[in-house]
Amino acid sequence: MKCNMNMLFDYIDGNLADENTEKFETHLESCEVCRETIRTFKLMETVGEQEYGVTVDVVQSVKNYTDKNMYDRKKYVFINKYMSNRKSFIKYASLTVIALTIVGGIIINNNHGFKDSVKDGVIIDAFKNKDFDKELADNAKSIVNTSYYNDFVKVLQEKGYQIVEGSFAGGPIQLPQNLDREGKNIDVANILNNGNKSSISSGLDFSGYLGKKVMLLTCIKEEPNNNRKEVICILTKDRIIGFWEEQILNDNKKELYSYTLLRDLKVDDFKDGLGNISSQDTDFIKIDNLPQFYTVEMARSNGDVLLGLSDNNNDRFHKFLNDYENKVNSRVRIAIYHIKNDATIVDLIYDGDGIKAIINETRDPSISKEIYGTKEYKVLNINKKNKNNTIFYTATLENNTELILAYENEK
Amino acid sequence: MLTDVLLVTKVLNGERDYFDILIKKYERVIYNYIFNITLNKEDSEDIVQEVFIRAYKSLYKLENKANFYSWIFKITINTMNTHFNRKKQYIPLEDNLLIDVSCDINDTPEEIFKIKEENKQLLQKLSVLNQDQRNAIILKYVQGFSYKEIAEILQIKEETVKIKINRGKKKLYDLNKNKAK
């Protein structure tokens, strides 16, 4: 018998028919190549059976390097909480950045700011009723120009819904110009058509928003029998314009289908030219060219503002603000360290037109690959806020995210 | 035994301590997997810690909670890739890397040496494969995952897994063939 690779691997996998096994084993006696290959695969099995004891306390190190309250739901919403406790401030800063990335930008609504309005909001009371889903729909319309968004998310989470990353992280989508069931986006049209029908029955009609950039939010709740309930919300900057529910049977295909379709609508927010970095700053290493292990010491000696650390180069930040007020081109780099050498780096650049923020998060291991990379945002506002004798500087980005830049004690 | 679904749900609901149970449940298998590939105690320790830190931080992204096991392998492979891209080497072939291998206390020095030698030989063989093929083959033959599970872990189609494994097999076979010549 000639050496036969297929037979060899069938033999290794135990799939060789009995009548062939004998033949093959005879061949084996004379074939070193087959014997050696079998040995390699046997060795793999043996290696897999070896057991080594774990020589490090994983439980403890996870405790040391993560925020144990990360999944305390309130923390996602009551960002104010962090403002009242300065010790937690580093956490707050990193949370903001994480929020910025996962959320694609709306965890802090523009109107919401740092007001303490969440706790005594009317909306929360309305949502406390048992019959959540109807209540939510009825009240969604009245949530206009309030801190509605955070409350909305909070209620969803309290009711056991989880925000689905695919839609939420995508942030803005652009609704198609029309919902005609024609053309290549026929499935999208179907989803939106049906969605709007059911949304209208809840009192919200988003057909007036076609062609507009909106925000898509999808939430999932695990139901008995492996079914899932899905809530899809369409939001604008200041209100919920569409809202419907779907019962998803345990059929992953369908689920995947509708997400990918809606995701196709995603707008590339950053496509528009935002101006080039002014060439006068040759001493600046481009954000993408910074070393992967960018230590606190390196950042400090480069003159980066170090958020929340002592000796934080905050005067650089003030120089930048001064330059901005005096309309002088300027830039500053801010490094936000979470654990160790995993800084999120933010460049603020003022080039005469306006400020833009370039954010690089490639060093944060908790951020998934899809959102790795450098992103550029327009800065709408730089805000200064005084809270408990600490002054916070934040930037409102074009996607209504508030990004913490620096903080210091009141002088 | 608490199911992964329950454990993950508890953690996501703010009951942090349940993550410790998840760690205890899986740290051994993850550590062993890493160790079998790196043969280096320090690297394995670093990586296993990073894996669970990453897992905790991105737990909310886990869509199907029942898949925690394959999901954590996915993280393990990504973490190892990052780790070794950083170090610019994947498989340690130098002898000195094997010095601090920890083995079972009951093993005789001869046995320890034998295990080390075997692992080393195997890794040397597997180094003819590219990274994808190697991952797929190791997951299949060392860890005993099914094609479907491997597809989930490597985030590729089941058919692609089969192709990768078959190509890997052929490479290993050809390697032995060329040696025999």
pLDDT in tens, B85-142: 766 554 544 443 443 444 444 556 666 677 777 777 787 888 888 888 888 998 898 8
Q: Which amino acid is at A147?
A: S
Instruction: Indicate if the pLDDT at residue A265 is higher than 60.
Output: no
| Rounded Cα distance, A121 and A119, in Å | 6
ipTM over 0.85: no
* Residue B40 contacts residue B97 (beta carbons within 8 Å): yes
Minimal CA separation from B120 to chain A, in Å: 10
| DSSP 3-state of A216 | strand
Mutate to test the interface with A, among B50, B120, B176 (most CBs of A within 10 A): B176
Q: pLDDT confidence of B72, banded at 50, 70, 90?
A: very high
Minimal CA separation from A329 to chain B, in Å: 36
| DSSP 3-state of A213 | strand
Among chain A residues, the shortest Cα distance to B181 is held by A33
Lowest pLDDT segment from A179-188, A194-203, A336-345, B45-54: A179-188
| Rounded Cα distance, A110 and A140, in Å | 18
Average pLDDT over residues A84-96: 33
Element housing A357 (H / E): strand A355-360
Q: What is the pLDDT of residue A278?
A: 30
Minimal CA separation from A158 to chain B, in Å: 9
For A54, A56, A379, B112, B115, the CA distances from B106, given in Å and listed in that order, are: 16, 20, 63, 10, 13
Mutate to test the interface with A, among B5, B6, B32, B133 (most CBs of A within 10 A): B32
Cβ contacts of A379 within 8 Å, gap of 6 or more: A348, A354, A355, A356, A357, A395, A396, A397, A398
- Largest distance between two CA atoms of chain A: 90
Q: What is the C-alpha R_g of chain B?
A: 18
DSSP secondary structure, A294-315, as one string:
--HHHHHHTT-EETTSSS--HH
Contact check, Cβ <8 Å, A40/B176: yes
Contact check, Cβ <8 Å, B176/A59: no
